[in-house]
Amino acid sequence: MPIVVDVDVMLAKRKMSVGELADRVGITPANLAVLKNGRAKAVRFTTLAALCEVLECQPGDLLRWEGEGGAAG
């Protein structure tokens, strides 16, 4: 999939566990794992906004586009 989810990068930067993030965002750890591992087909804007609020970041810090060749741009 050309959209890559970098939630794990932000978790490491914030020194936060998946369980803590899921609890603070209000989603299950299983659903967060689906998103984090790139298996999600969609993400609600409310969930994205909550992730950004808790992680103190921008949507672009969590999501990036990679072309078919694997390189951004």
Examine the pLDDT at 71 and tell me if it is beyond 60. Answer: no
Under the banding of pLDDT at 50, 70 and 90, the label for residue 72 is low
Reported as a single tens digit per residue, the pLDDT across 16-46 is: 999 999 999 999 999 999 999 989 999 999 9
User: Which residues, other chains included, contact 20 with Cβ-Cβ below 8 Å and sequence gap of 6+?
Assistant: none
Please report the pLDDT score of residue 67 as a whole number. Answer: 78
Nearest CA to 47 out of 16, 12, 22 is that of 22
Which element (helix H / strand E) includes 34?
helix 29-36
Reported as a single tens digit per residue, the pLDDT across 9-23 is: 999 999 999 999 999
Average pLDDT over residues 56-60: 97
Neighbour count for residue 29 (Cβ, 10 Å): 15
User: Which residues, other chains included, contact 9 with Cβ-Cβ below 8 Å and sequence gap of 6+?
Assistant: 61
